[in-house]
Amino acid sequence: MSLNDLDEDVLAQFTADVGGAADELVRLFADETRQRITRMMQADDNTKDAHSLKSTSATYGMSGLAGAADALETACTDGDDKRASEHLIEIETGVEEALKGLLNTLARSAN
C-alpha cells in the first residue's frame, strides 16, 4: 500500500455527506495533519496522535495514510521505537504528496 492510496468512493461519500463544507473541511484536515506530524516528530509517544491520524485519514478516504498511521500506532503500542521511527519518517516524508493528491481529487470532483 502506498501513502498516496486514496479511496475515491469514501471521499465521494464524505463530500455528499457534508455538502458545500467539503472544501473547507478538507483544507482544515490538511492543515491539522501537517501540524500533527510536526508535533509527532518532536514527541516521545505518538500512540494517541497516530490513532487520531489513522481515524481522520480514513474519514477522508486516505487509505494509504491511514494504513501507515495504523502501523505507527501498532509500533508505538508494542513499544517498538525503531519501527515507530521508521513509520513516522515514512509518513513525514510522503504526507505532502498524499495531501496534494487528496486536494487535487476533491477539486476534480467539484468540476
Q: Tell me: the pLDDT tens digits for 6-46?
A: 999 999 999 999 999 999 999 999 999 999 999 999 998 99
85 — pLDDT class (breaks 50, 70, 90): very high
Q: How confident is the prediction for the chain on average, in pLDDT?
A: 94
Query: For the residues 69-87, what does the mean pLDDT come to?
Result: 96
* 1 pLDDT higher than 80: no
Phi (first) and psi of residue 49, to 5 degrees: -65, -40
| pLDDT at residue 2, rounded to an integer | 87
Write down the pLDDT at residue 22.
Answer: 94
pLDDT above 80 for 111: no
Q: Which residue has the cell 474519514?
A: 59
Distances (CA, A) of 54 to 22, 69, 75, 109: 19, 5, 13, 24
